[in-house]
Structure 1
Amino acid sequence: MKLQRLLFLIALLALSTTVHAQRFNQKQIYDGIRYKNFEVSLHVQGQQGISEDFEGGSTLDIDDEFGWGFSIGWNWTEKWNLAYQFSLVKPKYSATLVPEDPMDVPRTIDFTMSKYAHQFNATYHFLSGPITPYIQAGAGWTKLDSNIIDRPPITGCWWDPWWGYICTTTWTTYDTTEFSWNAGLGLRWDVNGALFLRGSYNREFVKVDSGSLDFDTISLHFGLMW
């Protein structure tokens, strides 16, 4: 599938670049380029779909989808980075709900969900120079929103002296916010003292009652450092 091919290309890039990284990093001008610097980045990511079977016969299938996000971090040393990262993906899904009562008919839902991930990550860069492979791990929380309304909408109206009567409708959906954690690896290139690029592969584990939902993601980050 597309994500697997993209992962293969990133692996080839990491292998070929790392071979030359040690020699390139000998240039004194690049030594400690990240040391004590703050950074922000935007990223695009591809999330691989999953299929899960639950006790009682219920199933959940989530499609592949692209998403986006951002991160804010601080380079504690030239090798250690601490950061907060937010990611949003809106994949299509199909859920089959099997009632406990065998007399009731199973129900299938096809819709689009929203997945909001908040992670606090620690990253270790193997080299102090501008081109370096790295590993990353972190934890936080993830909100999974079915976007299915869980009760009738509520409409409220009030009088505004300028606009007249104003009415708004609000509603809530079936959602859950769960503890999550992640681990990954990647390759970073500090283009200069201000710009950097990162490519990474991560697996995110979202804790649910039946165990965990495991999402594989491939990301490309574009960042500023100061």
Structure 2
Amino acid sequence: MVYRVLLAALLVLILPSLASGQRLSARNGHWEVAVHTRYTGEHSDSGEGGSSIEIADDLGWGFGFTYNINRRFSLGGSFAWRSANYTARIIEDVTPANTIIYSSRMDTSNMSLVGNFNLLEGGLTPYASASGGWMLLDTNIYAGTSGGCWWDPWWGYVCSNFPTTYGISAFTGTVGVGVRWEPAESFLIRGGYEFGYSSEDVLQTANIVRLEIGLLL
């Protein structure tokens, strides 16, 4: 909630000066590439039988590409990844009084389609965005071994085993608002707030602060 209040106040303060007049952006009909960092706040969730999980806040990283259909609308793709500490509390089914607590790091990666709307046609403008895609999550919890055999051109017939971990995949998306600034004709900076959601209960919602730096091509 704090993120949204601060961002709304910022937009109210700068919007009158933006609308008063500025140069038109050169982004119309151009591609842009960007790298971004996303700060995701801590998250906790409760499961059945008293089980629970707490996920620490952390920074994630990513990159993306976007095509500006015109000065207001753009479509593109985004790739992101994040690694965060978590603590899980497990309640045994047979003996509920027995509790297991462990900590590890979970790795997530996302691939999304992104749409953006710029309120103004100038180089400094508020924007709104929405995305939808797929998330892969690795808990880094050991799940046994897997392996197989194959013919290698150097070593002949080779067999090997390797450890596996528990993981999930889920639909994920975001909606967000922020400010876009083009200090130079081919350079851009975007910053804002995003609300993230997922089809997986453990990571169903997230509060995200995003900073992005890119180039117009």
Q: The TM-score by the shorter chain falls in which range?
A: 0.7 to 0.9
The superposition leaves residues 112-152 of structure 1 with CA deviations (integer Å, 9 ceiling, x where unpaired) of: 11111222111111101111101111211111210112113
Which of 80, 89, 92 is 2:82 aligned to? 89
In 2, the alpha carbon distance for the partners of 1:76 and 1:31 equals 15
Partner of 2:210: 219
Partner of 1:115: 108
- Residue 181 of structure 1 deviates from its aligned partner by 1.7
In 1, the alpha carbon distance for the partners of 2:150 and 2:97 equals 39
Which of 113, 127, 149 is 1:134 aligned to? 127
CA RMSD, Structure 1 to Structure 2 (Å)? 3.0
- Residue 7 of structure 1 deviates from its aligned partner by 7.0
Q: Give the letter for the 1:35 counterpart.
A: N
Structure showing the higher strand proportion among its residues:
2
Contact 1:97 1:108 (C-alpha < 8 Å) held by counterparts: yes
Identity of aligned residues (%): 25
Consecutive unaligned residues in structure 1, runs of 5 or more: none
Partner of 1:23: 20
Could you state the TM-score of these two structures normalised by the residue count of structure 1? 0.83
Which of 164, 170, 173 is 1:181 aligned to? 173
- Residue 19 of structure 1 deviates from its aligned partner by 3.1
The superposition leaves residues 155-184 of structure 1 with CA deviations (integer Å, 9 ceiling, x where unpaired) of: 9899886x9xx9976322110000112111
Contact 2:147 2:159 (C-alpha < 8 Å) held by counterparts: no
Q: Secondary structure at the match of 1:127?
A: coil
Q: Which range moves more in the overlay, 36-45 or 149-158?
A: 149-158
Contact 2:77 2:111 (C-alpha < 8 Å) held by counterparts: yes
Q: Secondary structure at the match of 1:150?
A: strand
In 2, the alpha carbon distance for the partners of 1:88 and 1:74 equals 22
Contact 2:145 2:161 (C-alpha < 8 Å) held by counterparts: no
- Residue 63 of structure 1 deviates from its aligned partner by 0.3
Q: Secondary structure at the match of 1:113?
A: strand
Contact 1:45 1:220 (C-alpha < 8 Å) held by counterparts: yes
Contact 2:43 2:56 (C-alpha < 8 Å) held by counterparts: yes
**CA distance 1:159–1:69, change in 2 (3 Å):** closer
- Residue 41 of structure 1 deviates from its aligned partner by 0.4
